[in-house]
Every structure is written in C-alpha cells, then in structure tokens.
Structure 1
Amino acid sequence: MARDLPIGNGNIHINFDSGYRIRDIYYPYVGLENHSPELVSRFGVYCDDRFQWLDDPAFAQTKSYWDDTLITNVECEHAGLGLSLRIQDGVDSESDAMFRKLTVRNRQNRERTVKLYFHLNLNLYGSAFGDTVYYDPDLKSLVFYKGARYISLSGRQDDAGETGLSGYAAGQKGIRGLEGTWRDAEDGALGGNPISQGAIDGVAELVLKVPANGEANGWFWLCFGTSVKDIVRLEAEVRSASPVALFKRTYDYWRGWIAGDKHTFEQIEPDLVSLYKTSLLVLRTNFDNRGAVMAANDSDILKFAKDTYSYMWPRDGALIAHSLDRAGFHRYSRKFFDFCISSLSTEGFLMHKYNADGSAGSSWHPWVNAAGEKQFPIQEDETALVVFALWHHHRLAGTTADSRDDYDKLVVPAASFLLQYRDASGLPLPSYDLWEERYGVLAFTVSTVYAGLLAAADFADTHGDRLRRELYRDAAGKMKEAVEAQMYCGDRQRFVRALYWNADTRSYERDYAIDASMYALFDFELFAADDPRIERTMREMKEKLWVRTDIGGMARYENDYYHQVSRDIANVPGNPWFICTLWYAEWLIARAKTEDELNEPLELIRWARRRALPTGIMAEQIDPYTGAPLSVSPLTWSHASFIKVLQEYDAKRTALRGGGGYKESERTKSDRELLVTSGTGGEAP
C-alpha cells in the first residue's frame, strides 16, 4: 500500500498509508531501524455505542500537508456517526517527538461523548522478540522499550488540560491466535492490562465531551529516546512548553524553511508550484541529519525482495543534493558530501549503497567475474556524479574559493580512480548500470564520468593545479571521441545503450536497445541537446518507450521486467516511471528555441502532477492501466527530478521571453542553472 504524507525531522521519519495508518517509524536515523516494518498502527473512534477505525471506507478522507509544511492536514467525515475529525500530525522541529492534534466536530444538536483510540504496533529494532510495553503511572503514559530504544505514548484531553490517558491496554500479537490489543478497543472499553512483553502492541484512549454542533480538541504524542531518562526528560519538556506551543514552533519552522527557496514561479500553474513545494518537503523527510539521503522508506517493498530502498545510493544522493543546491538549500547538500568523503574507499570509489549510519548497505554486485578474477562491485556513475554535484554545490553556493579541502579529500582520489578505470580507447571500464541489471559500458555511465572529469578539471583550475586540470580535460576529450567512434551507430543514426566485452573476440558488442537513461548523453553535456544524433536518439526513445494507454508516461526500456504488469510490449513497453518521463521533458526544454516548443514538456510536467497521489506524493512507477503506485512511494529521486525540471522550464521560458531569440548553443547547462538560482536568497532556516 502506497505511503502518503511522510513526516520527520532528520532523526525521526514516519510514514502513513493511503488509509492514514502509521506504517513505518524510523529512529534514530532516517531509513535505519524501522520499528514498525510491515506493521499497521490504527486509529479509532467510538461514539453512541458504535466503533469505527479510521481506514474504514465509511470515513471519507481528504489528505494534504498543512500550508506547505511537514504537518499533515487530514479531514475525515463519517456521515453515519455524525462526526468529522481533523487530524494534524507533525514531528517537532527541535526535539524527537511527534504530535497529533485532533479536532472532533459534532454534527448533531446534542452533547456527545467521543472516545479516541491511538494504537501503536511496534517491533523495536525491526524484531518482534523481546519488546516490552507498560503503563507508567508517573508519566501517565504507555512506554515501549527494548535495549536502547524507548518510545512513550501520551495524551491530553484539550489544549490546556492535564496530561493523562483516559484508558490504556498493553497486549500481545501474533501468538496464541492473538491479533493484537487493538481488538480490545472495539467495544469502547479498554481492559487496562498494565504490562506485556515479547511481540507487543498497545492502545491509548482519550475521552472528549463534544458540545452540540460544536467541537473539542485532543492531543496524542510520541517521545523517542535511547533510555528511560530520555523519555522522562522529553515528556517533561513537552508538558512544560505544552503541545500547542511546540506544534506552533514546528509550523513556523517549516513555513520559514520552504520560504528559503525564493523561486516565485509567478506564471506557473498553482498546482505545479504546490507539487514543487511538496517535492522539497519530501526530499527533506528522506534526508538524515548526518548526511545520508534515503532513496525511499516504504517498507512494503519487503514483500517482493525481503529488502528495502532505505539506503543511500551515492547516485540518487548526488542528484537529490544537486536539486537542493539548485533551490538554495546548501546546508543539507553539504552534509551529504561530508558523508561521501567519509565513505570513499582507499581506491577512490564509492560503493553500491550505504546505510544511514555510514556502514555498507546490502549488495548483489560480486567481487569476482565469471572467470574468478577480481572486479570492483560498483556502479561507476555513483562516484562520478558525486564529483559533478560537488562542483556545482560550491559553484551555486559561491564557495569555490573555499573548496580546497573537498578537492584534496574527495575530488583528487575520486578523479584519479576515474582516470585509472579506463580502457585503451579512453572509455570507462565495465561496471554495473544505474538500473543495477547489466555489467558493461553504459551510455549513462560514460556521460556521468565525462561530466565528473570536467568537474574535477574545474576544481583543479580553481586551485591552480594545472597538471591535473590538463589530465582531467584530456581524459574527458578522449572519452568523447571514443563514444563517437564506438557508441554511435551510423546505420541507425543514433547512439547505443551499452557496450559489453566479449572475452572470446576481445572486442565490445553493442546493445541497440533504447533506454530512457540515454538522456544523460545531453544532460551531462557530452553532446548538445540539439545535436542531430541526440535528436534522433531521443525521438526514437519517445516512439519506443511511450506507454500507449490512457495513463501514458515513459517506460525505462522495452520489455522492462521489474514489477511488470503487461506483456503487451508494443503498447506497454514497461511501467511508466516519473523520472523517465521527466527526463524526456528536460530534453524538450533544453532544445526549445521558441515558447511554442515548451508546450510539449509542460504537458509532461502536468502529467507528473496528474499521476501523483492527490497529496502530491510520487512513486517510483505506476500501473500502466490504473495509474496506481507501484514499487516504492514516495521515491525521493522522482521528487528531485520534478524540482529540477520545473526550474529549467521556468528558466527557459524566462530566457525566451527576454527578447532577441534564444539559442541553446549560446548558453551552457551551467549558465541555465545560474539563471534558475539567481536571487534565491541563500540558506533556509
């Protein structure tokens, strides 16, 4: 089930599903230690001898973020109960606490008693063994713990009332036929069991008196810590300041944060601007405070591979950090680059992926080839893109003069590896592709290595390192020549996806398949967007990869097997991906010479908005017939791509309206970035 409206503060990350049930709870790192993997935490209402869980279809839900913040705003209407609820959840901007404000509206002309039930279902450290939940009479809270992980669940009956739950129950699940303590709530009377251990859950109750045709407020909150002392201290802070005050400071923080991006988009449709802001917020929720950028934190993917996307892929991280830099949020991208510096191998490359704490993530890239010879288990584009993004980070932040430390610690060793990891023709040696399926010399990889070498040359030039500057530029030049000689097919008048080494013939074999990632040939400036060879490559991409259903969108490549829905390859070459569709829009924007030529990419940008969830959340891919999210949701990369494309669309339109015409060859991609970010006003709070 797709995740909707993620919230967090860089230490805590919480996901809700489409029924607005808590599904993932990460702490103390974003993406590491999911204390609710594949579990459901419910919320229920009891009134007039009737009980209803919030995810029941009888509750009509309208979900959004509140005023472009990381606070949710969920309106729930139940005609049968004559009640409506507004639920607003947020993670405090300064402490490790989550708050839930509830406004209950009585639609009947009489006072009514309404009971609210917050169910918390945990497997601390991701394991169902050895947890404990107990009622603490001093805190008047339920406390869940195992080892060095503590979570308290507390409540208050109105904005200024005394803290304390109206009722509680601790219990077990998944053993002896027990479904969980949530069942205890369905008769409106919790049993009050004070402690349970093993595979546990717990339910907290608040009782509200709601006046006739009026409303009443209630609060629940969770406090996170590594010891019982942490919980007691944080609970005291919450109660002293009041949940109302902490909620307000969090609202004010996020309003100030989103205002840190000064792009006005004055002539852009409001729903696209709203998706842009939501995308920035989604990036922040998946950005750990220590620098790791998680690809996605939707644990439902466990059903398919028994592993998740809750890792930091250097490629995804570099492109996401680049989007944040373009928007002016340099402080966050800086942490990402520090993470990469500490993760760089002694050989100068970055590994497949990393956990949020900096340890190596799981991998399926072998260290030996079929002949038993050693090979590096890498995707070389991940190393190259970090160098590329780091140069643009300093350039966009205006800190190139202060980049010497980064040059010495990351750029020189990484660029040295890129230089050494080449064949005699100048092409990169084989590595795994960005889709993690093929081992060869990929068009995407070559484009990123080319861009990484030129970025390294710019660093060297900045710091007066003339020898390395010439080495890097010369290597990039030879690489481009090798691409033209070996990866361009004159017969088909377009580029090929990849080259694969044939050990028997001692030569490369061409892969003629069209792949959306071939957009990189222009995006990283290996070739101009209006180069006829690029034109033919991209036009064939649209012809072969566009999904010919009512849903539309661009597939990754023909007969894409991943989460494949249809075998009608002629019409559905694969599932539509947000990033692939936006890549094609980016090419159309880059090559546009007139305003009319911006109409087609604008339609693709609108497509992304239509195919996102109503809340603005974008998955990795969608069902080609229903548009339902597939794989993980949200995918951080999808949102980063939307940010970049909308900025480039707005910048190009502004340039075209400036008069005197516009020629792409007269302005490099880097110049467009400066145009996009001019006047951004610097760092957000």
Structure 2
Amino acid sequence: MRKKPYLIDGIIGNGRMLLGLTKNGEIQRLAWPRIDGLDQVNRQWAGFVTEDESDIHFFHEDAYQHEQAYIEDTNILQTNHNNEIYNIEQLDYVLPNQDVWVRDFMIKNISSVEKKPTFVYFSDSSLQSQRRFQTTMFDVRNDRLSHYYRDTAMVIAASAQITSYQAGKAFEQLMQNNLEGREILNDSEGVFTIDLGSIPPGESRKVSFFISLASSEEEAAILVDNAKQTGEKTLREATTNYWHMILDKREKRNIPDKVVNDLYKRSILTFHLLQNKETGAFIAGPEVDEDYDYSGGYAYCWGRDAAFIASAVDAAGYHDSVSKFYRFVLTTQNPEGYWDQRHYTDGVLAPTWGIQIDETGSIVWGMNQHYQQTKDEAFRKEIWPSVKKAADFLVSFVDLETGLPMPSKDLWEKREGEHLYSTAAVYGGLMGAASIAKVEGELDVAEAYRKQAEKMKEAVITKGWNDEKDHFNRSLKLSLTKGQYEEAKEAGKKVSITENEKGVKNYILYEDLTPDISLLGLSYPFEMIEETDEQMIKTANVIELTCTSKIVGGVERFPGDVYIGGNPWLISTLWLSIYKFRTGKKDKAIELFSWTTEHANHLGLMPEQIDKETNQPAWVMPLTWSHAMYVLTIKELV
C-alpha cells in the first residue's frame, strides 16, 4: 500500500464510515465498518482521457487549480477543479443512514470549442487494510465494479452507462489506453470509463458515482442499486436536510461574529462525524498515523479527550449523544474500577502503554457534569454503580507519602510520575462522585470521597508548590532513565532509586519543575484551586511567559516539547484563553481565542498543532479535542 500523507484537509462520513480527503479532493483513507475501522481504500481517482488518447489527467493533480469548501451547514464537501478547458465541480458525501459514499461531478466546457471527454474512474482497494488476497470483478449485466476480501466488499456504480472496463492489473493498462475488458482477477485494481458525449462550449454534463461497503458483495450491490435508483439529486437533498436537522437541535448562542458562529456549527458537525453512531464513543481524530511513525495513532476513544469532548457536546445541546457516550463507557470499565488508557469504539481494549489515572478521574467528573446539566435521574441511577466502583478505586490509589495519586502516565502519555494535573482530575472525579452519592442518599460515602479529594488538594498546595520557582511543579516522583538520574544527581537535585519485587530499578526525580499548560487544569475544568488564588495566578503567568510561541503566537504545551517539533497547540491556547477570561483578562482571552479562530483551516477544521515556523497546520486534522475546547471557550466568552 502506498505511504499516505499524515495531513488531510477534510472529512465526510455518517458515524460508521469516515473518509479523509485532501484539499485537492483526493481520497486518502476510508474507515469502515466503524469510524476507527481499517482503511479500505488505497486509491480512488477520477479524471479524463485526453481527446487524442495520449494522456490521462486525474482531477486531483496539478493540471488543475483547486478550490474547496463544505456546502454551508452540511458535511457535503465541494472541490472545484479548474483549467483553461473545464470547470469541474466535485461533491463528496456519505448517506446518513446507509454506508454509501456518493461522488457527483458536474463538468462544464469553458473553452470555445466542442469537447468530447472520456471520464475515467480508477479504484485500487485495500479492503481490511490488505494489499494481498483482494479480488476485483466487473459485472457486465449490472454495470458495476466490485472488490471483495473475506467478509468485506466494495461495489461501485455510475449514473451513466459504462463504456469500457478492466478488472485487475488495471492502472498500467489504463495508462497505456489499452483496457482489455477482463471481468475478474485476484487483484486490487479496477477501472472503467464513461463516454460523456459532445459538450458544446458553455454547456455541462453530470455524472455520479455510488460506492458502498458491506459484509458481502450481494449486500453492497443492493445498497448501490438502491442509491442509483433513487438518484443523486434526491440523495443530496436528503443528506443536506439531515445535517440541517442536526444543526437545528444545537444550543443557540448569541455569536455576533459570523466566522466564529460558522466554526461553532462546523465543530458540531465534526463531533457527529467523529462519534460512533452505534456505540456513542468519540475518537480523538481520524487516523493519519496507522503505522505509529510519530505517535500511537489517533482513531481511538480516550476517556480523557472524550470527557472534554462530551462536555462540549453537552454545551452545544446534544445531551442524548453524551448519554450514549457514557453508556458506552460503562461497558469498558476495568473490574477493579479504573478505565484503561483507550478503547476501540466497539469497546474492545486498544493498544495501550500504561494506566493514566487522570482518565478515570475525568470520566467520573464528566458523568457528574452531564447529570448536573440534564438532571436525568434514570441516567444517574444507571451510572451510580460504576461511579462508586471508580471512586472507591481512586480513594485506594494514593501514595501515602505524598498524598497524590500513585504514579501513572501523564496526560501527554510520556512521563511516569505523580502529576498535579492527574491529581486535579482525580479531585474532580471524587467531588463529582460525592455529589452523586449525596443524591443517592449515601451520605457517609459522599463524605469519604469529599474528604479524600480535600486531602489531595492540600497535598498539591503544600507539596506541589515550589517556593524557589514560585509556581506549581508539574509532577512529583518523576521516573527517569539512568542517564537522566545521574545528571539530576550531579546537579544536586533530590533523587532516589527504588526496586520492585523483581529487582528492577526505578530512578526517581522528586520534583519536576517544568511549567506545563496542563497545570491550568488545577483550576479549569476541575476546580480544585480557585482561578484567583495567588499560587494559581503565579503559575499561569509563568506558563504564559514560557509557553507562548515566539514566532507564530499561540501556546505550546511546555518548554522543551519535541513532539512533532514542539509547536503551539490549539487546546493549549484555548485553555489559557479560558483562564484569562475567568480572571478578568478579557482582552487577552479574546486575543488567544482569535488566534485559534484564525488557525482553523479553509474548511473550518481545527488541527492539533500549528507549525511554529510556517504557521500552517502541523499534525492531525481535525483533532476532536481542539473543536471541543473551542466550543467550551465560546461557552465562557459568549
């Protein structure tokens, strides 16, 4: 399979199928049967055979200039391809309730002479992310191309009659303009052409393609046949109406700035693409690093990200979606009471590299936040056993020496230690559990959770504060490599060595002094320490001073960050914006918020990071957490 670019520009889908496309309208990935499913497509290219049959121009290539936008208030993506001969309008969308991807092409002849283009559609499948064992077929009687591998099938049909075709070994034959009419081969490639007839100057021709996925060729064929029979006009209208209906349910906010209001709506539409329609699980983003080249991947459900996302979705008015998410969460809880790092959206445990205790705290905090917003008593009763089990675990997961939660990975998933952000999340979870326990009538249990939370707060204030640096530490008992330990010891820092029962040494730095944007989590959203507390203000000032990106603006996670070059993140910038607003620094809050608004891409999608040198999106587009923080910031500012 070809190596695909890490950055995509647009997404479409229906909560089961998720597609990522470039700004040129080229499909890069198609996840199915879940939004975190395997990539089913290697290449699907559309283009023209030149009239002298000497060459093929695919629309996504540099022979055309490209413009792209979503159709307003929908997840229908329009890409225009223009040159001196043709204006080509391409629409891509997925049917809301069927796993059918529709591609509409309107071809206008803008030259001064009649044209007779031959339309080419080339498909190279990677069903279940396999390059081997694929079979491609062309059904002459029903005029459609199919791929299948085991229990996955893709079927492609067109609104116009197909002229020529080839199943298997198709690309080379296509480039030689020598399609042989082969009907079946155990190969991944297939192609067909359509004669569009004569197009006089100024006139247009339309052709549409229907691409379905199902567990068998027969099922996929039925989906395609039904779509073809319904027709692209009706399908597009139904899809448009569906997304308008979704937006009509949003929390209406008085947002005078049209750009901000459009980004608010785009965030809502994005949430609906990145939530599994059947289970309710949110993913961190569409997958762009499936080989784990620079990360551990993104198309998974993390409790941490999802708790923020759910809070934003609640703020946007979609309470049923949030209830569905937390019901999914109930099914993934570990028997001991905590939640593992991340899951697939069907609830199966995903690849993991260690417990991250802030996630358990965040989930319980989020459950209570949702209950407080909705006062849904049935929901409260349903979650209470899970909340109690989680809170009991959090009470037990305490280092008696420091009073903080025992060592685990931090929210950036890099460092093992006792992190102040994680402590704040656990505090928020315990206080949320106490609130629910009180409503349940379990007053002693509620008091026990509250007392444990207050003990953690006291430990943060007394042991987490660094008098010399005049700000909160990022962590206590940070695990080091042996080399880092030797350097720290040589520098006179407080270090120690412990051993487990197998004699494996753990090298520990007692205080990690690094300023980190996550320290704002002590205040927002977990409300462990007041925004106006002197220690909090000093810490926030140090974060602003040391984490503001010098060239392009925005806020980095922490000094010395090297992930994808160490760039400003949108969530970091918005986190500081919220803090500034809550402490009365409205002008600065708006400045940071505006920076984020300006760094959405041309479609209104928000990346994880902005390159600190080029000022362009640097990684993962869109990041669901970025959109969540944007909505949460709107909630604060508007």
What TM-score, normalized by structure 2, do the two folds share?
0.90
Q: Which amino acid aligns with 2:321?
A: Y
Partner of 2:275: 287
- Displacement of 1:301: 5.7
| Pair 1:54 & 2:41 matched | no
Give per-residue Cα distances to partners, 1:407-430, cap 9 Å, x unaligned. Answer: 12x201111111111122532111
Letter in structure 2 aligned against 1:416:
D
After superposing the two structures, state which structure 1 stretch, 501-510 or 47-56, moved more. 501-510
How far apart are residue 402 of structure 1 and its match?
4.3
Partners in 2 of 1:400 and 1:497 — Cα distance? 38
Question: What secondary structure is seen at the aligned counterpart in 1 of 2:331?
Answer: helix
Alignment partner, residue 101 of structure 1: 104
Partner of 1:144: 147
Please say if residues 3 and 298 of structure 1, whose CA atoms lie closer than 8 Å, have aligned partners that are also in contact.
Answer: no
Tell me how far 1:541 sits from its aligned partner. 0.7
C-alpha displacement at 1:63, in angstroms?
A: 1.0
* Cα gap change, 1:599 to 1:193, in 2 (>3 Å): farther
Partner SS state of residue 218, structure 1:
strand
- CA separation in 1, counterparts of 2:172 and 2:600? 34
State the alpha-carbon separation in 2 of the partners of residues 22 and 182 from structure 1: 17
Question: Which residue of structure 2 lines up, in the alignment, with residue 419 of structure 1?
Answer: 395
In 2, distance between residues paired with 1:589 and 1:182?
57
Cα distance between partner residues in 2 of 1:114 and 1:398: 61
Look up the match of 1:154: 157
CA contact (8 A) 2:361 2:430 kept: yes
The residue that corresponds to 1:262 in the other structure is: 251
- On the 8 A contact 1:261/1:329 being kept in 2, the answer is yes
Q: Distance in 2 between matches of 1:131 and 1:505?
A: 53
Q: In the aligned structure 2, how far is the partner of 1:256 from the partner of 1:18?
A: 27
Distance 1:168 1:322, change over 3 A: farther
- Structure 2 Cα separation of the partners of residues 184 and 287 of structure 1: 41
Report the equivalent of 2:568. Answer: 576
- 1:33 paired to 2:38: yes
Equivalent residues in 2 for 1:505-520, closer than 5 Å: 509-520=510-521
1:271 aligns with 2:259: yes
Sort the Cα spacing of 1:530 and 1:116 in 2 relative to 1 into closer, same or farther, 3 A: farther
Q: Is the 1:30–1:288 contact (alpha carbons within 8 Å) kept by the matching residues of 2?
A: yes
Q: 2:312 aligns with which of 316, 323, 336?
A: 323
CA distance in 1, matches of 2:194, 2:371: 51
Structure 2 contact 210–227 (Cα < 8 Å) conserved: no
Matched residue, 1:530: 532
Q: Which residue of 2 aligns with 1:671?
A: none
* Cα distance in 1, alignment partners of residues 425 and 64 from structure 2: 49
Q: How many residues get paired?
A: 603
What is the match of residue 12 of structure 1?
Answer: 17
1:306 deviates by: 8.2
Letter matched to residue 517 of structure 1? S
How far apart, CA to CA, are the structure 2 residues paired with 1:100 and 1:638?
Answer: 29
AA aligned to 1:437 is K
8 Å contact from structure 1 (residues 118, 205) kept in 2: yes
Is 1:167 matched up with 2:164? yes
> What is residue 542 of structure 1 aligned with on the other side?
544
Q: Does 1:129 align with 2:132?
A: yes
The more displaced of 411-420 and 353-362 is 353-362
Q: How does 1:238-253 map to 2 (within 5 A)?
A: 238-253=227-242
Residue 222 in 1 paired to residue 211 in 2? yes
Residue 331 of structure 1 and its aligned partner are, at CA, apart by 2.0
Aligned to 1:553: 554
Gaps of 5+ in 1: 158-163, 173-180, 366-376, 565-573, 651-685
| Alpha-carbon distance between aligned partners in 2 of 1:45 and 1:394, rounded to the nearest angstrom | 56
1:345 has 2:334 as partner? yes
Q: Distance in 2 between matches of 1:286 and 1:141?
A: 30
CA deviation after TM superposition for structure 1 residue 387, in Å: 0.9
User: How far does residue 186 in structure 1 lie from its aligned partner after superposition?
Assistant: 4.5
Judge conservation of contact 1:7–1:15 (CA < 8 Å) in 2.
Answer: yes
Q: Deviations over 1:548-578 (max 9, x none)?
A: 11x22111111112122xxxxxxxxx21111
* Other-structure match for 2:458: 481
Q: Which moved more, 1:515-524 or 1:298-307?
A: 298-307
| Aligned partner (choices 380, 385, 389) of residue 357 of structure 2 | 380
Separation in structure 1 between the aligned mates of residue 415 and residue 576 of structure 2, nearest angstrom: 22
Task: State how 1:198-217 maps to structure 2 within 5 Å.
Answer: 198=187, 200-209=188-197, 210-217=199-206
Q: Does the CA-based 8 Å contact 2:323-2:379 persist in structure 1?
A: no
Question: Displacement, 1:443?
Answer: 1.6
Separation in structure 1 between the aligned mates of residue 523 and residue 454 of structure 2, nearest angstrom: 15
Q: For 2:118 and 2:587, how far apart are their aligned partners in 1?
A: 53
Deviates more, 1:633-642 or 1:238-247: 238-247
Taking structure 1 as reference, are residues 315 and 292 closer, same or farther at Cα in structure 2, changes over 3 Å only?
same
Contact 1:301 1:632 in 2 (8 A): no
Give SS of 2:44's match: coil
Whether the aligned pair in 1 keeps the contact of 2:156 and 2:209 (CA below 8 Å) is yes
Q: State the Cα distance separating 1:22 from its structure 2 match.
A: 0.7
Q: 1:403 aligns with which of 380, 383, 391?
A: 380
Aligned partners of 2:24 and 2:79 also within 8 Å = no
Question: Residues of 2 paired with 1:298 and 1:204: CA distance?
Answer: 29
**1:237 aligned to 2:242?**
no
Q: Assess if the C-alpha contact under 8 Å between 1:51 and 1:187 holds in 2.
A: no
Query: Per-residue CA shift, 1:467-510, capped at 9, x if unaligned?
Result: 11111111111111111111112333221111016654999711
109-118 or 471-480, which deviates more:
109-118
Residues 210 and 228, structure 2, Cα contact 8 Å, conserved in 1 = no
What is the distance in 2 between the residues matched to 1:29 and 1:165? 31
Cα separation, partners in 2 of 1:165 and 1:391, compared to 1, 3 Å: farther
Compute the displacement of 1:302 (Å).
2.8
Q: What's the TM-score, normalizing by structure 1?
A: 0.84
Is the 1:115–1:188 Cα contact (8 Å) retained in structure 2?
A: no
Tell me by how many angstroms 1:98 deviates.
0.8
* Preserved contact between residue 23 and residue 66 of structure 2 (Cα < 8 Å): no
Q: Secondary structure at the match of 1:528?
A: coil
Q: Tell me if 1:362 matches 2:351.
A: yes
Match of 1:160 in 2: none
Displacement, 1:609? 2.5
Give CA-to-partner distance per residue, 1:513-570, whole Å, 9 cap, x none: 1111111011011111122211111111111111111x22111111112122xxxxxx
**Could you tell me how far apart the structure 1 residues matched to 2:609 and 2:412 are?**
14
> What is the distance in 2 between the residues matched to 1:185 and 1:306?
37
CA drift at 1:26: 0.9
Deviations 1:252-279 (A, max 9, x none): 0001112211323342x21122122222
Give me the whole-angstrom Cα distance separating, in 2, the residues matched to 1:647 and 1:9.
Answer: 27
Letter in structure 2 aligned against 1:103:
M
Report the 3-state secondary structure (helix = DSSP H, G, I; strand = E; otherwise coil) of the residue aligned with 1:32. Answer: coil
1:184: Cα distance to partner?
A: 4.0
Q: Aligned to 2:608, which of 603, 613, 620?
A: 620
How far the C-alpha of 1:112 sits from its partner, in A, is 2.2
2:425 corresponding residue in structure 1: 448
- Give how far 1:457 is off: 0.9
Contact between 1:16 and 1:24, CA under 8 Å: does it hold in 2? yes
Q: Indicate the SS of the match to 1:133.
A: strand
Higher mean alpha-carbon deviation, 93-102 vs 393-402, is at: 393-402
State the AA in 2 paired with 1:462. V
Give aligned-pair identity as a percent: 26
1:635 — aligned with what?
623
For residues 63 and 521 of structure 2, the distance between their equivalents in structure 1, rounded to whole angstroms, comes to 48
Identify which of structures 1 and 2 has the higher relative contact order when contacts are C-alpha pairs closer than 8 Å and 6+ apart. 1
CA displacement, residues 210-245 of structure 1 (integer Å, 9 cap, x when unaligned): 342122211011011101231232133223322321
Deviation at 1:605, TM superposition (A): 1.9
SS of residue matched to 2:57? strand
Aligned to 1:64, which of 59, 66, 69?
69
The SS at the match of 1:304 is coil
2:635 maps to: 647
Question: Are the counterparts in 2 of residues 297 and 308 from structure 1 also a CA contact under 8 Å?
Answer: no
